[in-house]
Chains A and B, each alone.
Chain A
């Protein structure tokens, strides 16, 4: 969903939908060019319901990989701040048609541990974002509909962009957010805003892009906010450095790298 992270979004090949249709828009979001690999330095500010802010600095590296002819992306997150979690690393290895593999390195324990059982709609490293928000959603897990064909989006600078309002309904009835209505820019297929609905069909989370910029020719969301209305929490993400196609390899995304690079 997010421009910087859509580089690692999985792509499910299916019969090409009709241009302009909801399925086609969803496919374009997934397929837009986000580079072969990417590296971001980010600051994450998490506000709790009392308005207290915790800051985390992290480095996020992504690689668009493939297994058995299908997308199998890699993601490595390294925490740089605060000091008591500095060096903590998190590695996600996607496997088409199977559960993702996730590994965690805790410096205090000194060894890599496998983490299992987390869902796509789970919190991304304890923030208000989900893995799905960061890594994009499985195209076939949702049914799509255009709820508004002309829903222009005005960026913080006041510029109006033509956009669709796209509804994604989860096929899994147990999904935490069974319905998401996203604002998708028509000329770049970047998702710039979204409302996430709970099972009572109430908006519980709202996402918005506050700064959108082209970096190395790729549209990148540099400032993003996810607000949880129910919990009254908010996470702001700022990308302080973004690089695409820096030459990352499969070997940069192993358990050994997760452990060694932290030292």
Chain B
């Protein structure tokens, strides 16, 4: 493999201008396609259309409509005043007019069933189904509305808080269209409500649509606000380390070209840009910086030794071909393992990242040395070389002389990290991603505490026609509702059984003891018929039970929690449903937006974890192939495991969960860590082949490759460390953990690898390497 680089270098040098022309042309062509300012919101970016959870949700949605809602909570003391209720009526009507809005639930659309008193021997009384809000509301009517709303079990704690200070407006959409126009629709609803709010009334927005949209907003905001800062810090640190404007610009142009190629190819392949793929540019930048710094440093060094451009070019390519290929292939294969994921977005991210890594490899070998030939030669060593050589030599000598201390320290740190690892939880809490002061966080707290919570899931019941109104089924539904209420996070459970009980109570003169399911099938059928006589009743019924009573749903509302907890509670609910309907012809299943999103998070973390495992094995395999050496493969594994262990342990100790945001750091970590190790081992083996002693080979590898790694670490740490200050926690974690990763990866390279080589001389000593060759 090393020979391939030697043979390839002159060929690349001969064709460098043509190849560079192609690279530039490609970047120019790709640039217009590399639009990463428009996020694709389609659900199918996250779920395969064949995924059972998605199929189940679609089946549910076709039957009962979507459950991905926007919840607007209004808080204040003026809700139950004539002005407050008028406002709710006005905004409800305005929201109903907004495109894609299918249904609005509010105090305005709520209906109350009232028992009418007997007026004589000939009149057994009756029932009245009326809107909760009368057409004209004065102070007396407002007080009556409040009393009615608080007295209704279905409304209290769901549509209105127990103290009457918070009320909800729940908006459902045509889910086949909403994702295309979501931002505009949500904005329009804000415009309907916000300007109308009087003093003393505040609006809070939440629900699965608002959460998803907030993600998109934050992603784009970060892109616009943080990208210039990241690049600014990056350029500054490159300049400080190389003290050369031309080299700084060169590296910047090379990085930009890699990003343009990657994102252009990503788009041309038909992949969609989303919250997940927004990490891609950052990943490519980190890896490109590492590759380009190695090339620039090597080129400069060789040029200063030989004074010859061609020699500097071919030497750089020949020396770096194998380590860059090894580093790139391992990272690319690790990323490519995501291509087997069930989630389209993860699949596309994996393939996009793999393509990006390989594109960057090619660009680094062809484009960067060619550009280096165009810039003025630096006669003196740059600051990074002068400043870093001394400390790195000292580190190399320390690692050799005190290898025992190094390995003992590694063992202690590993033990501490392992202890932290036991505290690490796989968990995504979307609300906690946002700072306590963020509107989404505040609205979740309000809705969770005052209303029925922001998450919902459904238990769908399916059986033969008419089976879902039989007395036996109704009894089982009641039993299941009681069981579901015992789940810790569950706040409200509603099914068509509740509607029947309400009608039955009103038909019996509003007697509380009559709030039961009537015993006969005919009575149930007739009360359901009665409830469905009115438009609103019919619409309400259609949302919970199919017209032929072959399908029904139980809605379960819960407070916001981590996805894992939601996932577990839904699984428990499924088990409860199975138990409640055992031996009947009704088949229960769980679905709804809560299940959709908790499963998605679960899938994402699991697919990343499995990819991470695969990537580890791949590193070993590729290093074996590149170096044709099992022992150096094992050494790479040891050196790669430590940084990952430290990062995960650090997360465990700090209570940072392994979630959809932080799991991406793991992928980047592996990409960075194995690069450093491969460069070091490659240099060590080269020095060994040229007859160096073990100590000299370690020192040379540490000084030269460690310098590039340290330079890369400083550049990326400074650039991405800035993200640590973001108020959006995933961004903050990503930046902070990435910065830490860079530092630990460098330390692993310059301390662990030399220490292991020194301690296990019988395997890794240079004479052994020469003998094996």
Contact = CB atoms under 8 A, between A and B. Distances in A.
Interface of A: 46, 48-50, 52, 54, 84-85, 88, 90, 103-104, 106-109, 111-119, 121-123, 125-126, 130, 174, 176, 199-200, 230-231, 255-256
Nearest to B97: A200
Nearest to B508: A109
A103 B125 CA distance: 10
A73 to B, nearest CB: 19
A113 B116 CA distance: 9
Nearest to B112: A117
Nearest to B531: A126
B521 A115 contact: no
B523 A113 contact: no
Contacts of A113: 116, 124-127, 507
Given A85-B529, A118-B129, A126-B538, 16 more contacts: A48-B547, A50-B62, A50-B546, A84-B522, A90-B533, A103-B126, A104-B530, A106-B529, A108-B518, A111-B124, A112-B123, A114-B116, A117-B130, A123-B533, A126-B533, A200-B99
A213 B129 CA distance: 38
B128 interface: yes
B134 to A, nearest CB: 11
Contacts of B122: 255-256
Nearest to B466: A84
Contacts of A107: 522, 526
A123 B527 contact: no
A184 to B, nearest CB: 26
A230 B507 CA distance: 32
Contacts of B63: 49-50
B767 interface: no
A108 B523 CA distance: 5
A117 B133 CA distance: 12
A150 B507 CA distance: 52
Contact of A123 (B465, B507, B535): B535
Interface string B69-105: 0000000000000000000000001001101001000
Interface in B467-505: none
25 contacts: A48-B542, A48-B548, A49-B62, A50-B62, A50-B63, A84-B525, A85-B526, A88-B529, A106-B507, A106-B523, A106-B530, A108-B526, A108-B527, A111-B124, A113-B507, A115-B126, A116-B128, A117-B128, A117-B534, A122-B535, A123-B533, A123-B535, A125-B533, A200-B99, A231-B542
Contacts of A48: 542, 546-548
Contacts of B99: 200
B96 to A, nearest CB: 6
Q: Which of A90, A115, A117, A130 has the most CB of B within 10 A?
A: A117
Contacts of B532: 123, 126
B225 interface: no
B520 interface: yes
Contacts of B533: 90, 104, 115, 118, 123, 125-126
Interface of B: 62-63, 93, 96-97, 99, 102, 116, 122-131, 135, 465, 507, 518, 520-523, 525-527, 529-530, 532-535, 538, 542, 546-548, 550
Q: Which of A90, A115, A256 has the most CB of B within 10 A?
A: A115
Nearest to A200: B97
A7 B112 CA distance: 33
B527 A106 contact: yes
B124 A199 contact: no
A130 B536 CA distance: 12
Contacts of B518: 108
B525 A85 contact: yes
B620 to A, nearest CB: 54
Q: Which of A46, A106, A130 has the most CB of B within 10 A?
A: A106
Nearest to A121: B535
Contacts of B521: 84
A104 B125 CA distance: 11
A119 B534 CA distance: 8
Contact of A108 (B123, B127, B520): B520
A158 to B, nearest CB: 34
A49 B546 CA distance: 10
A126 to B, nearest CB: 4
B63 to A, nearest CB: 7
Contacts of B522: 84-85, 107-108
Nearest to A256: B122
A109 B526 contact: yes
A23 B688 CA distance: 103
A103 B62 CA distance: 35
Nearest to B547: A48
B525 A54 contact: no
A126 B535 CA distance: 7
B159 to A, nearest CB: 19
A117 B129 contact: yes
Nearest to A172: B135
Given A108-B522, A113-B124, A126 B529 contact: yes
A199 B96 contact: yes
A113 B130 CA distance: 16
A85 B547 CA distance: 14
Contacts of A176: 535
A193 B480 CA distance: 47
A104 B507 CA distance: 11
A88 B128 contact: no
A132 B23 CA distance: 71
A125 B546 CA distance: 17
A164 B645 CA distance: 80
A126 B533 CA distance: 5
A118 B550 CA distance: 28
B548 A54 contact: yes
The 9 A-B residue pairs with the shortest CB-CB distance, nearest first, are A114-B126, A84-B525, A108-B523, A117-B130, A116-B128, A113-B126, A111-B124, A48-B547, A106-B526
A176 B521 CA distance: 34
A84 B63 CA distance: 24
B62 A118 contact: no
Q: Which of A48, A49, A84, A107 has the most CB of B within 10 A?
A: A84
Nearest to B549: A54
B529 A109 contact: no
Contacts of A52: 465, 546-548, 550
Nearest to A113: B126
Q: Which of A103, A113, A130 has the most CB of B within 10 A?
A: A113
A54 B546 CA distance: 11
Contacts of A85: 522, 525-526, 529
B547 A46 contact: yes
